[in-house]
Structure 1
Amino acid sequence: MAGYDTLRLILCKKSILVEGDSDELVVQRAYMDTHEGRLPIQDGIDVMTVGGVTFKRYLEIAKILNKETAVVTDNDGNIKAITDKYKEYEGIPFIHICFDKVVDTGNLKLSDKNFNYNTLEPKILKENGREVLNNIFGTDYNTDDEMHKYMHAHKTDCAIAIFESATKIKYPEYIMRALKNE
């Protein structure tokens, strides 16, 4: 994979690979909250949005270079699929596959489909509660389902609000695990 992102992986001290822009903002803020306000890049750590299908391509480069790399990914309600997908990286001490090992469920439906409680936004709500997030987002939702709908429809706006907020939040354990493997 030629290109700037490949070069970023090669040049950084450590990489943290995430699925999307929202994940990138939240991981960067989690790092800042645990490293005296420093951005990861200030410490040679590059947080990169690579998308689900290209994780393994980056991991192959990391494996060849012995590059400290963490993958931060949703479990999407299927732990076995995640463990099977990354099985070949088990036991490699510098590659860390970080996902929530708990599958959450609920009754919410969006457009007649079951809501996925196993992505970043529902995990943040689970960690922090509605009151904290209402405060950060400037909303006034009375139920978790209302907050889930809002966060699902406004992923990037929510991530930006978290990133820019004066309020520190609690981060899901799998994100904190990715930061600890430095």
Structure 2
Amino acid sequence: MFINTEFLLSNARDNSEIILIEEPENHLSHLNMHKLIDKVITAGDEKQTFIATHSNMIASRLDLKNAIFFSENRIMNLNELKIETAKFFKKAPDNNVLNFILSKKAILVEGDAEYILLNEFYNYLTGDEPYNNNVSIISCGGKTFKRYLEIAKLLNKKVVVITDNDHDYENNITKTYSDFRSDNVEIFADKDNLNHTFEVSLYKYNGSFIDSYLANASMTNGVQSYMLNNKAESAFRLLCLFTDENPDTNLEKFKIPPYIEEAIQWITG
């Protein structure tokens, strides 16, 4: 596939004015994808090039400002996107920007731990899977929320952010996101500054449950300390408890932090 595409691109430089490429991501490894993108960029300097793709990496690396997005009900473009944001997604090591753009609604979360558990929380609270309600759950890291929200504003997309207050709700949530909040964008975090992060909030509302079912002899500094130092692993262990068909460890026995409940109610409302 790579050799054929490279040959066609080389041949097209002399014989064609327009290059059409259909889903170049098919059958390519991650490294060969990068090589192909470099080839496409080089060819695009000389010819008008159209690429159809489902790949986040291809769509972002070739500049979101030049892309046209087709979904079930509309055609979109991001030609008003800030240059700095387009450049950011070109360089972002791992992004889900195409998934985000094509979703009808989205929940943005801060890290792996939230991503691991949120689908189960959503399912329990709504009785359905997020994808059945056209909701995408995307982990993008707290420092990149504003990049995604800039796209959300341009596309008038309904988006909720679930994040940490990092000891200062007023500055880190209220003030930081004041320019982004709207009828379609809302930010949720624990309003108690003592519950500064996801793991602390989980433990605050479920200390006895977590101590009973997650603690072991190796957690010499306590379960909460383990959770803070092993966020993804502790979230995965909780998920296994919720899904192991033990009635004593299902989500009926667990208190989902209120700010997460409110966020899910908001996005589904």
**TM-score strictly above 0.5:** yes
Following superposition of structure 1 onto structure 2, how do residues 95-174 of structure 1 map, counting pairs within 5 Å?
95-104=185-194, 117-129=195-207, 131-137=208-214, 139=216, 146-166=222-242, 167-168=250-251, 169-174=254-259
Match of 1:52 in 2: 142
> In structure 2, how many angstroms separate the alpha carbons of the residues matched to 1:83 and 1:67?
20
Gaps of 5+ in 2: 1-58, 62-94, 243-249
What RMSD, in angstroms, separates the aligned Cα atoms of the two structures? 2.3
Q: CA deviation at 1:138?
A: 5.1
Given residue 191 of structure 2, which amino acid in structure 1 is its aligned partner?
K
1:2 paired with 2:2, answer no
Equivalent position to 2:178, from 87, 90, 94? 87
Q: State the Cα distance separating 1:152 from its structure 2 match.
A: 1.4
What is the one-letter code of the residue matched to 2:240? E
CA deviation profile, 1:131-162 (whole Å, cap 9, x unmatched): 2113332537999x612211112211111122
- If asked which structure has higher relative contact order (CA below 8 Å, sep 6+), I would say 1
Q: 2: CA distance between counterparts of 1:62 and 1:97?
A: 13
Q: Which has the larger radius of gyration?
A: 2
Maintained 8 Å contact 2:215/2:223: no
- CA distance in 2: counterparts of 1:47 and 1:178, whole angstroms: 12
Runs of 4+, deviation exceeding 6 Å: 140-143
The amino acid across from 2:186 in the alignment is H
Name 1:111's counterpart in structure 2.
none
SS in 2 for 1:139: coil
Q: Deviations over 1:115-138 (max 9, x none)?
A: xx5100110011112x21133325
Matched AA of 2:233:
D
Which TM-score applies when normalising by structure 2?
0.57
The TM-score, its normalising length taken from structure 1, stands at 0.82
Q: Distance in 2 between matches of 1:157 and 1:13?
A: 30
Kept in 1: contact 2:168–2:193 (CA 8 A): yes
Distance 1:64 1:158, change over 3 A: same
3-state SS in 2 of match to 1:77:
coil
In structure 2, distance between residues paired with 1:67 and 1:172: 25
Measured in 1, the distance between the counterparts of 2:206 and 2:217 equals 15
